[in-house]
Amino acid sequence: MTAFWTEADYDDHELVQLVRDAKSGLTAIIALHSTHLGPGAGGTRFWHYAEPGDAMRDALRLSRGMSYKNAMAGLPMGGGKAVILADADKTKTPEMLAAFADAVDALGGQYVTAEDVGISEADMAAVAERTQYVSGLPVDGEDAAGGDPGPFTALGIFHGIKAAVKHKLGKDSMEGVHVAIQGTGSVGGGVARLLAKEGAKLTLADIHEDRCEALAKEIGADTVASDAVMSVACDVFSPNALGAILDDEGLARLDCKIVAGGANNQLKRPEHGPMLAKRGILYAPDYVINAGGIISVTLEYLCRNKGAPCDINEVRKRIALIPGRLEQIWQESDTSGNSPDQVADKMAQELIGR
Ligand code: NAD
């Protein structure tokens, strides 16, 4: 058997911990990729995986992505991620969350957690009853930063899509620009609402068809079946569901000029970035464009540790830097001939000392 730490996804993680609590039925993995720039920060995913190996791969890839994301966002945090392996019914109990919180606490602040897919603000509030190493907690008032990172992630993606449209299509306005959005949950739904306000033509798809139809009606968008959205002829394809959708088959289906969305780990394998570029499709590296949420939860965490309220304008100011970072990557890509994901990976690796 090959040692799993020699596999590419392992990428010299500093720590990978398997957490088992027989009493509550918790099985979780906490992966810490790098603490070079600070404690490993990244959310907890609650998901049913067909195979335990899929959960390990997800934790490792997401955790490395967080190292890159935090570094590129200029945050004093390293990269980490947790996955809780749910059963097929996605049973989640207070006891499981408590056991998970204790495991986070035992790491003494090396890992700071927050929400990810399948984990709510209320879940994080429950985790916070047993550990201080948590963020994305409910906040009071509209001017306080923090809470659910989804809207902040959506805001960064909205800015990033506008930058991509300017770079690739030379347009300053979203009026009539056609964006096909895969996944209309917390992030994709937020992106859709912001784009609708600026006159974009939207096509939405989600496996939760009723919710997707309701949103489409509210903002005046079209819908397509979730298995058809990648083939929609459009200006921008915005993936906001799950990762690894840009594989051989996915790439062959695309009929767009830009891929820019919030899903983590969109490229199935490293070669899919250059393949996108060869097709003349501009790619916004996922961990750069989707950093809005981690910017919010990190500033919330750092402010709470200082006992000070966190100013939402500071969060917005930092999120507004995302388009500039993307533009820098695209310009470097145009000059060097390397694809945007290769350029971004190199920048991130230099920042984390790899
Ligand atoms: P969410 O669970 O609120 O929404 C995801 C949506 O995608 C759901 O509505 C789901 O039904 C839909 N979906 C799942 N599979 C689909 C498919 N095959 N086709 C179409 N729709 C599908 O999650 P979210 O918080 O909006 O996160 C979306 C993505 O963005 C995830 O990859 C997440 O890791 C990433 N992300 C989220 C944040 C954040 O702040 N929430 C930050 C960075 C990255």
Domains along the chain with CATH numbers? 4-67+77-128 (3.40.50.10860), 150-289+323-351 (3.40.50.720)
C-alpha pair distances (Å), 314 with each of 67, 105, 133, 311, 349: 22, 28, 22, 6, 26
Q: Reply yes or no on whether 168 is catalytic.
A: no
49 phi, psi to nearest 5 deg: -105, 140
C-alpha 171/C-alpha 180 separation (Å) is 18
What does the pLDDT look like over 142-170, one tens digit per residue?
777 788 899 999 999 999 999 999 999 99
Give residue 117 CA to ligand 1 midpoint distance, Å. 6
Structure tokens at 207: 């496996």
Could you tell me if the CB of 35 is within 6 A of ligand 1?
A: no
In this structure, how many other beta carbons lie within 10 angstroms of the beta carbon of residue 224? 16
Q: What is the predicted pLDDT for the residue at 1?
A: 60
Cβ–ligand 1 contact at 190 (below 6 Å) = no
Q: Report the pLDDT value the prediction gives residue 145, as an integer from 0 to 100.
A: 79
No. of helices (H) and no. of strands (E), the chain: 13, 12
How much of the chain exceeds pLDDT 90, in percent? 90
Bridge partners for 259 per DSSP: 237, 283
Q: Residues 333-344: what's their mean pLDDT?
A: 98
Ligand 1 pocket check for 226: Cβ under 6 Å: yes
pLDDT tens digits along 169-228:
999 999 999 999 999 999 999 999 999 999 999 999 999 999 999 999 999 999 999 999
Sorting pLDDT into bands at 50, 70 and 90, what band is 309? Answer: confident
pLDDT tens digit sequence for 63-120: 999 999 999 999 999 999 999 999 999 999 999 999 999 999 999 999 999 999 899 9
Look at residue 195 in the predicted model and tell me its pLDDT: 98
Is 345 strand, coil or helix? helix
On whether the CB atoms of residues 234 and 255 are closer than 8 A, the answer is yes
| Annotated active-site residue in 81, 162, 201, 257 | 81
Give the Å distance between the CA of 206 and the centre of ligand 1. Answer: 10
Cβ–ligand 1 contact at 261 (below 6 Å): no
pLDDT per position as a tens digit, 269-281: 999 999 999 999 9
pLDDT tens figures, 255-270: 999 999 999 999 999 9
Question: Token digits for 261?
Answer: 């969305």
Question: 48 C-alpha vs ligand 1 centroid, how far in Å?
Answer: 15
> Looking at residue 310, what is its pLDDT?
83
Phi then psi dihedrals of residue 206, to 5 deg: -155, 150
Read off the pLDDT band of 9 (50, 70, 90).
Answer: confident
pTM for this predicted structure: 0.95
290 Cα nearest atom in ligand 1? 43
* Pocket perturbation via mutation, ligand 1, pick of 46, 153, 212 by most ligand atoms within 8 A of CB: 153
Does the beta carbon of 147 sit less than 6 angstroms from any atom of ligand 1?
Answer: no
Q: Which residue pairs, CB below 8 angstroms and at least 24 apart, start in 121-130?
A: 121/147, 121/148, 123/46, 123/92, 123/97, 126/94, 126/97, 126/98, 126/101, 127/44, 127/97, 127/100, 127/101, 128/101, 129/98, 129/101, 130/98, 130/101, 130/102, 130/105
Q: What is the pLDDT of residue 143?
A: 73
Banded pLDDT at 140 (limits 50, 70, 90): confident
> Does 242 contact ligand 1 (Cβ within 6 A)?
yes
Q: Tell me, using a 6 A CB cutoff, whether residue 240 lines ligand 1.
A: yes
**Residues in the chain, overall count:** 354
Give, for ligand 1, the residue of 69, 116, 135 to mutate: max count of ligand atoms closer than 8 Å to Cβ: 116
The residue-averaged pLDDT of 331-339 equals: 98
pLDDT tens per residue, range 28-56: 999 999 999 999 999 999 999 999 999 99
Residue 118, burial from CB neighbour count under 10 angstroms (0-12, 13-18, 19+): middle
Paired strand residues for 80: 32
345: pLDDT strictly greater than 70: yes
Residue 68 and residue 199: Cα distance in Å, rounded? 33
Q: How many CB atoms lie within 10 A of CB 122?
A: 12
Probe target for ligand 1 pocket from 203, 204, 238, 240, with the most ligand atoms within 8 Å of CB: 240
